[in-house]
Amino acid sequence: MSYRRLLRVAGIVAMAVMIAIIPFLVTACPSDDGDDNGNGNGDEVKADLKVGVMVPETGVAASKGRPMAAGVRDAIKYINEELDGVLGHQIDVLVRDNQYDASKTTTIIEEFITAEVLLFTTQSSAQMTAAMTRANEVGLPGFAVFSTPKLTQPAQHIYAQLPDYGDDWAAFAQYYMDNIWQGEGKPKMALHLLNNSTGQGARDAAELLADSLGIDLVIIEEHSSTTNNEIASLTRILALDVDVLYISSTPAPTAVIIGDAVDLGMYPGITIGTGHASFTSEMVELAGDDADGVYGVFPTVGWGDDVPGMAKMTEYLLANHPEQAGNMDYITAWNEGLIIAEILKQAIQNTPGGAANLTPENVEQYGFQGLNGYDVGGLQGPVAYTTGDNRLSTAVKLYQVVDGVITVIGDWIEAPFIDYGFE
């Protein structure tokens, strides 16, 4: 064979080998989700999307943290396994238990920053209060499931999944004036508040708005998360002959206050309303018959309501955490997981260059601020961003305990933006 012919044969063989291995090279290369905005052809190896989630799974708020930790874990499992993640990207979620402890929270937020998460969440306003200063300093966007006005005002890098504790008070107060109060003059209201951001949010709203709503705010009492007796504080309230008592707390202290109000003969008689951190099935179980007639504000639908997202959520609840059946805190955290995914989806689709260019800054600009009416399967109010208002949802419902059952008593109530003037 001539030298020239030998070279030609060798060239043909080399070309054939290259053609054969090109498909393997393409599929083995990670996708940068560039011009196709993360949609691709489904064959690329796509990078995981790292997020941080704080839960109070143990500690004094564990009764809320357990169902909420279960809800967000189940939602992320559903997204990753059934929906193939977010546009083909798996969500790599770092779940950390901060035990409802501020010092642990500050340690965890540093871990999230070092791990280069794209966003983070907390499930309580107290957790976010401890984390927000550092997060705002480094521009790490996050949202709190349960929120208080000082987290989102002035607007920086922290958002609220749901209306805040000030919105709760305002919605209940308006409902009370429109539908319950039938006396002359101004009704006298007492507040009984958890001594942290859960109580402070309601206090901020009440002090700002009570007079304009025609309510006489006569006394504000505080309690701890571990209280087991509030006879003394309620005796002071009883002496003022109040018409309505509003509680912004967590389930166990709320049950103590309601029980002591019954023992003192205050209730039934006065009206009792609570914010959404108080108003769960656990509170009803702890208070027993004493809870009958108590009103509560909550920012989700109830279990069994006829909305599109109910069936899938219920499927995961029963398969993984049947002990949380009926607990509406699970709903809030299932929604937390869905909203995390929607933020990441919006960020991938709208960031120039797609997922390869995701940074916390781009996730905030194109993800958080790209939200525009996401309906969360009808499980809560629509999720959208409005410039200057970092609450991502603005709808609540009124409920009442009737024969031991949390029962809805109205349609969605819109919670308008309240400017607290915080700086």
How much of the chain exceeds pLDDT 70, in percent?
90
Position 238 pLDDT exceeds 70: yes
Distance CA 274, CA 263 (A): 19
pLDDT in tens, 42-68: 446 799 999 999 999 999 999 999 999
What would the pLDDT profile of 176-196 be if each residue is shown by its tens digit?
Answer: 999 999 999 999 999 999 999
pLDDT tier, 33 (very low <50, low <70, confident <90, very high otherwise): low
Q: What is the DSSP letter of 163?
A: -
Q: Are 397 and 168 in contact (CB under 8 A)?
A: no
Write down the domain spans for the chain: 49-163+304-392, 166-298
Tokens read off for 99: 């035990």
Residue 44: its pLDDT value, please? 64
User: Looking at the domain 166-298, which fold is it?
Assistant: Rossmann fold (3.40.50)
Check residue 356 and report its DSSP letter: G
Q: Distance between CA 45 and CA 42 in Å, rounded?
A: 9
pTM score of the predicted model: 0.89
**Pick from 5-9, 180-184, 416-420: least confident:** 5-9
SS3 378: helix
pLDDT in tens, 366-376: 999 999 999 99
Confidence of residue 31 (pLDDT cuts 50, 70, 90): very low
Contact 200, 128 (CB under 8 A): no
The yes-or-no verdict on residue 36 having pLDDT over 70 is no
Confidence of residue 124 (pLDDT cuts 50, 70, 90): very high
Tens digits of per-residue pLDDT, 319-359?
Answer: 999 999 999 999 999 999 999 999 999 999 999 999 999 99
The mean pLDDT value of the chain amounts to 92
pLDDT surpassing 80 at residue 394: yes
Q: CATH for 49-163+304-392, among 3.40.50.300, 3.40.50.620, 3.90.980.10, 3.40.50.2300?
A: 3.40.50.2300
Say yes or no to pLDDT of 288 above 80: yes
- Residue 45 is predicted with a pLDDT of 76
Q: Which two tokens stand for residue 266?
A: 């205050």
Neighbours of 236 (CB within 10 A): 11
Q: What's the CA gap between 354 and 39, in Å, rounded?
A: 9
User: Does 49-163+304-392 match 166-298 in CATH topology?
Assistant: yes
Mean of the pLDDT values across residues 62-88?
Answer: 97
Question: Does 174 have pLDDT greater than 50?
Answer: yes
Q: In the 8-state DSSP scheme, what is residue 88?
A: T
Rounded CA separation 24/43 (Å):
11
Q: What is residue 384's three-state secondary structure?
A: strand
The answer to whether the CB of 297 falls within 8 A of the CB of 274 is yes
CB 192 within 8 A of CB 245: yes
Comparing 237 with 8, the larger pLDDT belongs to: 237
Q: Rounded CA gap, 197 and 150, in Å?
A: 8
Q: What is the DSSP string of 223-281?
A: E-TT----HHHHHHHHTTT-SEEEEES-HHHHHHHHHHHHHTT-TTTSEEEE-TTT-SH
